[in-house]
Structure 1
Amino acid sequence: MLADWIAVDWGTTHLRAWAMSAAGEVQATAASDAGMNGLSRDGFEPALLDLVGGWLAEGRQTPVIACGMVGARQGWAEAPYRAVPCTPLDAGAMIAAPCSDPRLSVRLIAGLSQASPADVMRGEETQIAGLLAARPDFDGVLCLPGTHSKWARISAGEVVSFQTFMTGELFALLAEQSVLRHSVAAAGWDDDAFAEALSDAISRPDRIGARLFTLRAEALLSGLAPEAARARLSGALIGVELAAARPYWLGQDIAVIGAAGIAGTYVAALTAQGALPQQYDGDEMTRAGLTAAHAQRKGASQ
């Protein structure tokens, strides 16, 4: 099976690739743990070839469009940030990655930056482009939850502004490395505990420090179930994020893009606040964005 072109999402810890047809259909998928963190600059091309070599034809260059941390300063080649307000994609800002294999022609998508308050994104701009490919008239706010959640204002096809929240990373640090690790389960859930903690945090975000320690205290004194503690920790942190991001989402058309589990959690949290968010699959939006980038690049080269 040979790919007409290849879509790549290359993050800090993982590499994912899709063999695409000329019509934009997925012909095959592949993934590995060859993320940016584990590679030197000269290790990117071999890592990609290990994954997609079987999709390449001899005597023909196969276009590869890649997004994510592969374009970071520590990546294959640096794709400089583009300052907002701007469209999520720009064919002219895609950087050619140096390749020794003549079968490869790799282009890296640039991330976005914001001067004040200072912020950056890499990878999310491609998901935003995917959403706009499906909804070109979208005017509202996108929430992209994850390790570092992003909230982006979209208007007239452009990213106007955005803000990052380290909610996912804070959850992992508190659940796995703080004193709360003795009380928070590694898995499991309690919907009621999540909803209660979410509501409390949104109404009183200033009390987050004290509320967090009650998880440990209640586990010792009242036998708080570890699954309930996990849900309450998540509810508290997401609640603080929603309270801070209220100027973004209040009264706006909201789309949430991400993996089903975490995106569903944010949709439930926003719905509890009276919002009407729509949920979109993160992988689908990434592929749609990469497809849009490929079309832009192809059009620019003709």
Structure 2
Amino acid sequence: MGAPETEADPAVLEPAVVDWLAIDWGTSNLRAWAMTGAGEVLACRASEKGMGRLAPGEYPGVLSELIRGWTPRDPGRPLPVLICGMAGARQGWCEAPYLPVPTAPLGTGAVTPPDAPAGLAVRILPGLCQRAPRDEVMRGEETQIAGALARDPGFDGTICLPGTHCKWASVAGGAVTGFQSFLTGELFELLATRSVLRHGLAGAGEDPAAFDAAFGAAVGESLAEPGALPAGLFGIRAAGLLDGLAPDAGAGRLSGLLIGSELAACRPRWQDRPLVVIGAGRLSDLYAAALARAGAAEPKRLHATEATLAGLRAARALMELE
């Protein structure tokens, strides 16, 4: 369903005659799709040269190399290139503004980097921000939300976007009315690899059934008593020392405690609300399972790549009207 996750080999890049290019430039990875005027994908490429690996001046060369061999159908006009994600961050290629909510997920504010490669009409999409009840920002997820709304324009509910920093966005009337972010994925990585818990989690990944059983139980515990999270986390270490808690069960317990605590904290956003979960792979499955355990309505599922492409198509259509 998604684009290749490995870096393209410049020696074997397939050619294509394209109408425009869709780009998702994340922190770790970069994906590019060659598009027809009707929004069909002709080809896709991926690279590991995300924002986290680049200095601002390196973006033009990386983009030019990745799209080499993709030529415009109309050689007399610059090839439109539409970019979402971290290329628009302050540390990225060219900072794009944050649009304050409530707002449609796609709007004015796209920027053109001054050093865009010759022959390319590059536009970088803005992110979204919130100032009350607390400061929040998102960059990239707004395009996926736009993709979900392009598929279901009348959706009124909550969109969950699992990831390193999970987002919960409230949507009504075609606009994002508010959102909340959680460092859950990053906390899991830090705790599993850099805290005292790492001693008991080494080697996890061999027993999915043990992970799932521990995950479900831990989600229930966090939902029932979210304030006990710090003690519950240390309990993983103690159970490894005293009871021989297996690495997969420990990892499942860690994941369940964190995601369960997240669900407890944002209960008003999902309880008795229509839900969409946008993501890919194991993490989205875990969020869906946790929501079921919490008694939430069964969410619709949308693959992250499909949502991103649908959002970039919608952004392209809006720009054609400008």
Q: TM-score, normalised by structure 2?
A: 0.90
Local SS of the residue matching 1:12: coil
Report the residue type matching 1:95 in the other structure.
V
Task: Please report how far the alpha carbon of residue 59 of structure 1 lies from its aligned counterpart in structure 2 after TM superposition.
Answer: 4.5
Task: Please report how far the alpha carbon of residue 216 of structure 1 lies from its aligned counterpart in structure 2 after TM superposition.
Answer: 1.1
Give the distance between the partners of 2:168 and 2:238, measured in 1 at CA. 33
Name the stretch that deviates more: 141-150 or 38-47: 38-47
1:279 corresponding residue in structure 2: 301
Give the distance between the partners of 1:192 and 1:102, measured in 2 at CA. 55
1:75 corresponding residue in structure 2: 92
Of the three residues 211, 231, 254, the one matched with 2:232 is 211
* Contact preservation (8 Å) 1:10, 1:36: yes
Superposition map of 1:251-290 within 5 A: 251-275=272-296, 276-290=298-312
Structure 2 residue 50 is matched with structure 1 residue 35: yes
Task: Please report how far the alpha carbon of residue 100 of structure 1 lies from its aligned counterpart in structure 2 after TM superposition.
Answer: 5.0
Aligned residues: 299
Report the residue type matching 2:214 in the other structure.
A
* Contact preservation (8 Å) 2:219, 2:293: no
Structure 2 residue 317 is matched with structure 1 residue 295: yes
Superposition map of 1:220-235 within 5 A: 220-235=241-256
Where in structure 1 are there 5+ consecutive unaligned residues? none
Superposition map of 1:234-253 within 5 A: 234-253=255-274
Of the three residues 111, 121, 130, the one matched with 1:114 is 130
Report the residue type matching 1:211 in the other structure.
G
Q: What root-mean-square deviation, in Å, do the aligned CA atoms of Structure 1 and Structure 2 show?
A: 1.2
Superposition map of 1:65-144 within 5 A: 65-90=82-107, 92-116=108-132, 117-144=134-161
Give the distance between the partners of 2:205 and 2:63, measured in 1 at CA. 33
Give the distance between the partners of 1:246 and 1:100, measured in 2 at CA. 44
2:11 corresponding residue in structure 1: none
Give the distance between the partners of 1:6 and 1:217, measured in 2 at CA. 52
* Contact preservation (8 Å) 1:99, 1:106: no
Structure 2 residue 183 is matched with structure 1 residue 162: no
Give the distance between the partners of 2:261 and 2:295, measured in 1 at CA. 17
Query: Cα deviations across residues 15-46 of structure 1 (Å, max 9, x unaligned)?
Result: 11111111111111111111112212211110
Name the stretch that deviates more: 232-241 or 93-102: 93-102
Local SS of the residue matching 2:168: strand
Report the residue type matching 1:107 in the other structure.
R
Give the distance between the partners of 1:38 and 1:102, measured in 2 at CA. 23
Of the three residues 194, 198, 206, the one matched with 2:215 is 194
* Contact preservation (8 Å) 1:99, 1:105: no
Structure 2 residue 22 is matched with structure 1 residue 7: yes
Task: Please report how far the alpha carbon of residue 186 of structure 1 lies from its aligned counterpart in structure 2 after TM superposition.
Answer: 4.2
Where in structure 2 are there 5+ consecutive unaligned residues? 1-15
Report the residue type matching 2:205 in the other structure.
A
Give the distance between the partners of 2:300 and 2:293, measured in 1 at CA. 14
* Contact preservation (8 Å) 1:7, 1:287: yes
Q: TM-score, normalised by structure 1?
A: 0.96
Report the residue type matching 1:187 in the other structure.
G
Local SS of the residue matching 1:255: strand
Report the residue type matching 1:294 in the other structure.
R
Report the residue type matching 2:294 in the other structure.
Q
Give the distance between the partners of 1:54 and 1:170, measured in 2 at CA. 41
Give the distance between the partners of 2:128 and 2:118, measured in 1 at CA. 30
Query: Cα deviations across residues 107-153 of structure 1 (Å, max 9, x unaligned)?
Result: 01100000121000000000000000000000000100100000010
Give the distance between the partners of 1:236 and 1:85, measured in 2 at CA. 32
